Amino acid sequence: MSRPGPRRLLLVVLTVLGLVCAGLSAGAGPAAAASAFPNTVVPVPVSETGNGSTFTLPAGATITSDDAGTGGYLAGILRASTGYALPLTVATSSPGTIALSLSGAPGTVGAEGYQLTVTATGVLIQAQQPAGLFHGVQTLLQLLPGAVMSASVRPGPWTVAGGTILDYPRFGYRGAMLDLARHFFTVAQVERYIDELALYKINYLHLHLSDDQGWRIAINSWPNLAVYGGSTEVGGGAGGYWTQADYSAVVAYAASRFMTVVPEIDIPGHTNAALASYASLNCDGVVPSRYTGTNVGFSSLCVPLPLTYTFVDQVLGELAALTPGPYLHIGGDEASSTSAADYATFVDKVERIVIAHGKSVMGWHDITDAGTPPAGAQAQFWDTTTSDPALAAAAADGTKVVMSPANHAYLDMKYNHRTKLGQTWAGLVDVDTAYGWDPGDYLTGVTGSEVAGVEGPLWTETIVTSADIDYMAFPRLPALAELGWSPWSTHDQTAFAARLGAQGPRWKTMGVNYYHSTQISWPAGS
Ligand code: TNX
């Protein structure tokens, strides 16, 4: 082969330069190509291409959907705020003004992604699976004026910029956790939170159902757990518990928002409510008092006691039967009243019980101190460090990692020293801190492909009402949701701050009691 002459070399160099530049601008695609699209969507989509047109929803618009549930969900929101009739047809044949279609989406959208096309005459959302249609609907709602979220009729016009959005998630696990044990929350309160989470494409709801201060789910084979162990909470309030029908109602409601419930029974520590409910579960046969304080690490199930495993088997068995999702979360955190040897024995036995009930293990990352969990397990990292050798070893052995570093992802940390609610042990977490880390490149020795995703835990020692939940989750939860969904190449604090600000009027309209972080310029009136 002859060597290229100088002219040819110049051409090659120019071509390479051109490609690099094209690549760079493609990397910045969502921001650069967004000129025709307002920067209002959180999490920011993978790619957006404006077409210069504008769509305004006409009063006589129709909706067609291949998925009845999501069609009804969209119609319900739009009818309430626009006052239009918006008849819904569940069919594929002739597309309505807004059409949700399970055909024609590019393969790249996968199980949860979608393609959204807005022309002057209509909106088409295409997906491979119903979850994708639902996520596409969330994007459409965020492209519409915030008043679209109103429960009563508001004036239009209901206008959307024209173009095409192609979108799919970076991570398959995008979770939020609510602690029902430190304070009890009703089914209605949790459903309200589910609706808020769904707006940001969260797809797992982790429910922390037991702790020292309360046991929140009825277990038929151990009735005192809920009746007695559920009758307290932090501060001495009455507590409460869900019947199994209540739990199933929440599971179904979450499923209607394409969210999978992960129930957690936290063992062997964090078990005072259970130990107080049954003398027979205690090594010394003596029941401790119920507990309404906020200390951690003082309780432990009795590891040498055979009845302990009958208990765990029956509790997890009932929960497994009620839970369609793949995971049972066994907690395992802060077991400082359990010796290391007992802890390892216990976790190994419990992991086998989970598998025997046909579920996969999820636990706080502490469970990897007991060795690599069984295949299919997920360990949830909660510490404030950036390395955990036991977790990294388990990850190398196939355990997937869910990232909840407390100093970035904990929704119960204060925003600043003036915040009345929340704790400070992991630091202060304002929007920049909530958004400023990369879940795929955070822990030493844990590679991006070992990360299943992210989760925002909301512990409730200081959280009592739905307004409190709103205040701690918003605006930080959307920051976490974007880290979980959007490609890292789109990560940009300034652009994120702008699209987060655009959520303010929506939350105002919906009555979401969000924290007006001074890092964001919230539109006037929101
Ligand atoms: C630590 S981190 C806990 C919880 C507390 C929380 C308060 C972890 C897995 N456990 O028991 O509620 O801190 O921020």
pLDDT digits (tens, 9 = 90+) for 196-221: 999 999 999 999 999 999 999 999 99
Q: For ligand 1, is residue 455 a contact (CB within 6 Å)?
A: no
Q: Which neighbouring-strand residues pair with 403?
A: 381, 454
Q: For ligand 1, is residue 258 a contact (CB within 6 Å)?
A: no
pLDDT at 439 over 50: yes
The mean pLDDT value for 232-250 works out to 98
Q: For ligand 1, is residue 412 a contact (CB within 6 Å)?
A: yes
Q: For ligand 1, is residue 184 a contact (CB within 6 Å)?
A: no
Sign of CA dihedral 462, 464, 467, 473: positive
Number of the ligand 1 atom closest to the C-alpha atom of 294: 12
Return phi, psi of residue 496, to 5°: -65, -45
Q: How far is CA 465 from the centre of its chain?
A: 20
Return phi, psi of residue 326, to 5°: -80, -20
Ligand 1 mean position to 126 CA, how many Å?
Answer: 41
pLDDT at 348 over 80: yes
- Checking DSSP bridges between strand 173-179 and strand 159-167, what pairing results, if any? unpaired
Ligand 1 mean position to 423 CA, how many Å?
Answer: 10
Confidence of residue 488 (pLDDT cuts 50, 70, 90): very high
Cβ 328 vs Cβ 320: under 8 Å = yes
Farthest-apart Cα atoms in the chain, separation: 90
Q: Which pair of tokens denotes residue 348?
A: 């190994």
Residue 36: predicted pLDDT: 66
The mean pLDDT value for 385-389 works out to 98
**Weakest-pLDDT range from 14-18, 115-119, 427-431, 454-458:** 14-18
CB within 8 Å of 445: residues ≥ 6 apart: 387, 389, 392, 395, 396
Ligand 1 mean position to 170 CA, how many Å?
Answer: 27
Residue 22: predicted pLDDT: 36
Residues recognised as catalytic: 334
Confidence of residue 93 (pLDDT cuts 50, 70, 90): confident
Q: For ligand 1, is residue 333 a contact (CB within 6 Å)?
A: yes
Confidence of residue 136 (pLDDT cuts 50, 70, 90): very high
Residue 91: predicted pLDDT: 81
Q: Can you tell me the distance from the alpha carbon of 98 to that of 94, in angstroms, rounded to the nearest whole number?
A: 11
Cβ 237 vs Cβ 183: under 8 Å = yes
The mean pLDDT value for 463-485 works out to 98
From atom 10 of ligand 1, which residue's Cα is the shortest distance away? Answer: 333
Ligand 1 mean position to 412 CA, how many Å?
Answer: 9
Q: Can you tell me the distance from the alpha carbon of 189 to that of 512, in angstroms, rounded to the nearest whole number?
A: 13
Q: Can you tell me the distance from the alpha carbon of 197 to that of 175, in angstroms, rounded to the nearest whole number?
A: 9
Q: For ligand 1, is residue 266 a contact (CB within 6 Å)?
A: no
Residue labelled with tokens 């950036």: 386
